Amino acid sequence: MFSFIIRRTFSSIPTILILILISFALMRLAPGSPFSSDRGLPPEVLANLEAKYGLNLPWFEQLYTYLKGIIFSFDFGPSFKYKDRSVNDILAQGFPVTLTYGLWSFFIAVAVGIPLGIAAAVRHNTKLDYLAVGFSIGAQVLPNFVMAPILVIIFTLWLNWLPGGGWNGGEWQYVIMPVIALSTSYMASIARITRSSMLEVLSANFIRTAKAKGLANSSIILNHALKPALLPVISYLGPAFVSMITGSVIIDIYFSTGGMGQFFVDAALNRDYSLLMGVTIVFGVMTILFNTIVDIAYAWLDPKIRL
Amino acid sequence: MIGNKNNFKKVAMIAAIGAATTFASMSAFSATHPKTGEELAADQSYTYRLPDGIPSLDPQLVEGVESSIIVRDLFEGLLNQDDLGNNIPGVATSFDLSADKKTYTFHLRKSIWSNGDPVTAHDFVYSWRRAVDPKTASPYSWYMEMMSLKNGAAITKDGMDSKELGVKAIDDYTFEVTLDAPLPYFPSMVTHTTTFPSHQATVEKFGKDWTRPKNIVGNGAYILTNWTLKEKNVRERNTKYWDNANTILNKVTALVINDENQALIRFKAGDLDKTEIPAGQYPAMNKSNPGEAFSFPRLCNYYYTFNLSESGPEAFKDVRVRKALSYALDRNVIVKNVLKGGQFPAYTFTPAATAGFEVPEVAYATWTQKERDAKAVALLAEAGFSKSNPLKFDMIYNTDEAHKKIATVISQMWKQKLGVNAVLANQEWKTFLETRKKQDFELARGAWCGDYNEASTFLDLVTTQAGYNHGKWVNTEVDELMNAAKTSATPNVNYTRVEQIMADEMPVIPIYHYTGIYMIRDTLKGWPIKNVQQTIYSRTFYKTAK
């Protein structure tokens, strides 16, 4: 098991390097520059700006300086657009926000989704099952960019219960709507996957044997059926977790959270090279990290995979 | 948002105590407006929508309208603008102009920074040098060049020492500026944020972090208390501001709300006092919130430009084709049925709202649309295009819902009236800029908002050397007229002629002139709707009681 973890960890290093190289190349290939604007800057002003941000150097030198900064001082450089901030400042502001609503969303999606899926499977073809399936389908066809404004209309405009946006350092009133909007569709997916996987397991031979032995139903489900039934759920949870904690541009736009999702998209649109690189690297490392964790969890649940 | 009665009583009590103690606090807390006598709200705070995060609040690095509004609250330059756009004293109480019209001497008032240091002429010397210094790499150093400051261009371009800039502190309260050439509108230029003072000791101590709430030192009516990127920006009364006694508004909050429809919901929920009205929704908002929906002229135009350079299509080099496309475009439909916000159909490049500019009579503006359509059909036929040989071209615009609607409507008009096949394509902003700059297009959207309130801010764009002349239209007469206008006593004659030439040559298709379309809460007073440049100072606002 230990060697498996070591192996997985080391194999992720080249992946990260390739990620950096590809994002660096793609960014430079995109038309326009961080300083292009409607007005268009005079050449001498542009030259001063490029000199200040090192864009006048050959690309390999830029890449070298950049990598050196990250590896030796964990410094992602200055933002090209937000001139009063460094990329580290922006990550320090946006990441905790995203992490907060992402973790809560994940927690709620799992805490509601899995029990709902199990209940639906156990009470197969009953009203509860239909309700759970109906909810899942409903939640999936209602994307969060539709749900977010609806939530604001209901809870802010009509009921005046919750603030319609902002973050305020993560006060609970500000966190509720982003979490609902983000978690619902994941919750639905988790419930659906759990339900169908559970149904499959419940009709397996070893469950029939357990039933024949006269075990209590709750014991069958918790001790025998749950572990194998969760395997497909876990493979879904890994990427879902990463996409939740790296934020959603929709959530950030509609709830003005100041989170990372919107910075990511805007950095690309603004050609804010250093910010885009910084966010890509952090997101990339996290994706790889959680995929590794999922693999490890998988290996623990299913020994066949360790081989 | 507005405090309840109990709160109001409390404030009234505090106000009474305040009135007894000092004069300054009396005017800040008094329940009626000192001039208009309106009853003031207990809660003097103003909240508005920001469409996006603020890139910088450093006066020398700031760019963009929204950032400048905040910088004007936090810092104050030599001169300010009143609600009509006229210059009024700021830090400078007056100025003298030398006989050769090249030296301005500003006399500064005795005022202090938010940390108690005096605001002196040395602060302006430091900040102006900082603005032109290549090391600062100000994106607005070109603005300092436009100000014709002595040695300004040489410092930015050729790396001359910034100490050579034509600015001098004669004493602590006398600031002298030397220009390369007389510039009649120079005083208006010092109302721009790039010329505002920065506090040297703070800049040097904190580097790029000096504009953070915990570090910033300003000389404006407000101090920054919160600046969370893409979430909000809060500034509160600076009691050390020289005109604090006349400032009524205590707190200004800008909430970043990216989506304008979402912002409108927040306005309806009472979270915002001001927001923009999305395209097409003005009539509905005017009906649902009478007295809160505003539409007023802005100094901006909207047009499509033909690529007349080598890389442009052959067909566009024929003036008959250009005219046909312009004539067949029914501007009233765009304005009345698509935008619906009181915008003005445009037949000239320069908006009528521009100071001193009288819209010249251009023939096609006076025709009925039917007449224009008939002419368009005839001209296009003359140019050799017909149903069997239809005109075909690509038109590009930057990705945006309103631009898309307009482009779709235009292309349909052309299709129906002229049988022209215009293929639409939208491009993401930076790509669009690059495409247009490289003349890699056939017909492209363009728009311009005036830098200053005079027709040359628009008409200079169509001169041969102008960077913004993306269609690469060349007309030597226009170049001469615009050059002569700079020193002419009656520049309007030249501007009229340029507009007439443009109507004859049609290098661009003017479509409409902008209006500012805002929702402004009926209790918020003092919005400068007559200032076409929308130079805003929050300290001139106040809230009345409901």
Q: Return the minimum-mean-pLDDT range out of A79-88, A221-230, B103-112.
A: A221-230
Largest CA distance in chain B: 87
Nearest to B230 among A148, A149, A262 (CB): A262
Please say whether the dihedral angle defined by the alpha carbons of residues B358, B363, B369 and B372, taken in this order, is positive or negative: negative
Q: What is the pLDDT of residues B348-404, one digit of tens each?
A: 999 999 988 888 889 999 999 999 999 999 999 999 998 889 999 999 999 998 999
Among B144, B229, B300, B448, pick the best mutation site for testing chain A contact (most A Cβ within 10 A). Answer: B229
pLDDT of amino acid A305: 65
Q: Which of A196-210, B9-23, B151-165, B325-339 has the lowest mean pLDDT?
A: B9-23
Note the pLDDT tens digit of each residue in A271-303: 999 999 999 998 888 888 888 888 888 777 776
Q: Name the nearest CA neighbour of B275 among B43, B51, B31, B12.
A: B51
Q: What is the pLDDT of residue A227?
A: 84
Looking at the complex, does the CB of residue A32 fall below 8 Å from at least one CB of chain B?
Answer: yes
Nearest CA in chain B to A80: B55
CB contact under 8 A, B430 and A42: no
Q: Is the pLDDT of residue B5 over 50?
A: no
- When computed from its CA atoms, the radius of gyration of chain A, rounded to whole angstroms, is 24
Model confidence pLDDT, tens digit, residues A156-182: 999 999 999 999 999 999 999 999 999
Q: To the nearest whole angstrom, how far is the Cα of B437 from the nearest Cα of chain A? A: 9
CA distance to B35, B396, B403, per residue, from B400 (Å): 44, 12, 5
Residues in B touching A258 (Cβ below 8 Å) = 228-231, 256
Q: How does pLDDT run across A259-273, given as a tens digit for each residue?
A: 998 999 999 999 999
**Considering only residues 141 to 180 of chain A, which have any Cβ-Cβ distance to chain B shorter than 8 Å?**
148-149, 152-153, 156-157, 160, 163-167
Size of interface A-B (CB pairs under 8 A): 146
Chain B residues with beta carbon closer than 8 angstroms to that of A165: 255, 257, 262, 266, 271
The shortest CB-CB distance from B259 to any of A31, A254, A269 is to: A254
Res. A11: pLDDT tops 60: yes
Alpha-carbon gap, residue B94 to B111, rounded angstroms: 15
Contact A31 B434 (CB under 8 A): yes
Task: Kindly list the residues from chain A whose CB atom is less than 8 angstroms away from the CB atom of residue B57.
Answer: 84
Model pLDDT, residue B13 = 43
Pairing of strands B92-97, B87-89: unpaired
Q: What is the pLDDT of residue B20?
A: 41
Quick one: pLDDT at residue B6?
Answer: 43
Q: What's chain B's Rg over C-alpha atoms?
A: 26
Confidence class of residue A306 from pLDDT cuts 50, 70 and 90?
Answer: low
Which residues fall within 8 angstroms of residue A147, CB to CB, at 6 or more apart?
Answer: A180, A181, A184
- Give contacts of A30 with chain B, Cβ < 8 Å: 430-431
Q: What is the pLDDT of residues B443-490, one digit of tens each?
A: 999 999 888 888 998 999 999 988 889 999 999 999 999 999 887 888
Residue B159 confidence (pLDDT): 84
pLDDT in the model for residue B156: 87
Q: Closest Cα to residue B230, out of A265, A33, A156?
A: A265
**Is the pLDDT score of B19 beyond 80?**
no
Both tokens of residue B69?
């509004």
B-proximal residues of A, 37-56, CB under 8 Å: 37-42, 44-45, 48-49, 51-53
Q: Which of B430, B431, B437, B448 to mutate to test the interface with A (most CBs of A within 10 A)?
A: B430
CA distances from B463 to B56, B481, B482, B483 (A): 32, 10, 8, 9
What whole-number distance in Å separates Cα of residue B277 and Cα of residue B254?
17
- Cβ pair A30:B431 closer than 8 A: yes
- Cβ within 8 Å of B, A 201-260: 252-254, 256-258
Within an 8 Å CB–CB cutoff, is residue A83 touching chain B?
yes
User: Is the pLDDT reported for residue B15 higher than 80?
Assistant: no
Confidence grade of residue B508 (pLDDT, cut at 50, 70, 90)? very high
For residue B405 the two structure tokens come to 């609607």
Q: Collect all residues with Cβ–Cβ distance below 8 Å to A103 and sequence separation of at least 6.
A: A244, A245
Q: At what angle do helices A2-29 and A59-73 cross, to 10 degrees?
A: 140
Strands B45-50 and B251-256, sheet pairing: parallel
> Domain extents for chain A?
16-73, 91-301
Structure confidence at residue B328 as a pLDDT band (50, 70, 90): very high
- Is the predicted pLDDT of residue A87 greater than 70, yes or no? yes
A306 in contact with B, Cβ within 8 Å:
no
Examine the pLDDT at B203 and tell me if it is beyond 50: yes
Q: How far is A117 from chain B (nearest CA, A)?
A: 34
Q: What is the mean pLDDT of residues B46-69?
A: 93
Cα→Cα distances A212→A208, A219, B178, Å:
6, 13, 100
Q: What are residue B171's DSSP bridge partners?
A: B174
pLDDT score recorded for residue A243? 87
Residue A307, pLDDT score: 53
- Element of type H or E holding B23: helix B23-29
The nearest alpha carbon in chain A to B398 belongs to A38
Beta strands in B190-239 (DSSP E): 222-228, 232-237
Task: List pLDDT tens digits, range A32-61.
Answer: 888 888 877 888 888 989 998 989 999 899
Cα–Cα distance measured from residue B372 to residue B378, given in angstroms and rounded to the nearest whole number: 10
- At A144, which amino acid appears? N
The reply to whether residue B269 touches residue A156, judged by beta carbons under 8 angstroms, is yes
Q: Among all chains, which residue has been given the structure tokens 């800040």?
A: B28
pLDDT higher than threshold 70 for residue B405: yes
**Quick one: pLDDT at residue B30?**
52
Distances (CA, A) of A85 to A76, A274, B41, B56: 11, 11, 37, 8
Residue with tokens 């639409």: B424
Q: Measured between CB atoms, does A272 come within 8 Å of chain B?
A: no
Q: Hey, of A44, A84, A145, which one would you mutate to test binding to chain B, going by the most B CBs within 10 A of its CB?
A: A84
Three-state SS string over A219-268 comes to: HHHHHHHHHHHHHHHHHHHHHHHHHHHCCCHHHHHHHCCCCHHHHHHHHH
Tell me, rounded to whole angstroms, the distance of Cα A155 from its chain centroid.
26
Label residue A204 by pLDDT band (50, 70, 90). Answer: confident
* Residues in A touching B430 (Cβ below 8 Å): 30-33, 36, 269-271
B492 membership: H or E segment, kind and range? helix B491-505
Overall average pLDDT of the B281-292 stretch: 94
Check if CATH label 3.80.10.10 holds for domain A91-301: no
Token pair 């590896």 in the structure block, residue? A71
Contacts 24+ apart (CB under 8 A), B151-159: B152/B180, B156/A44, B156/A45, B156/A48, B156/B132, B157/A44, B159/B134
Kindly list the residues from chain B whose CB atom is less than 8 angstroms away from the CB atom of residue A56: none
For B228, the closest of A32, A42, A258 (CB atoms) is A258
Give residue B217's pLDDT.
Answer: 98
Average pLDDT, chain B: 91
Q: Is the pTM of this model over 0.95?
A: no
pLDDT at position B17, please?
A: 43
Q: Is the pLDDT of residue A115 over 80?
A: yes
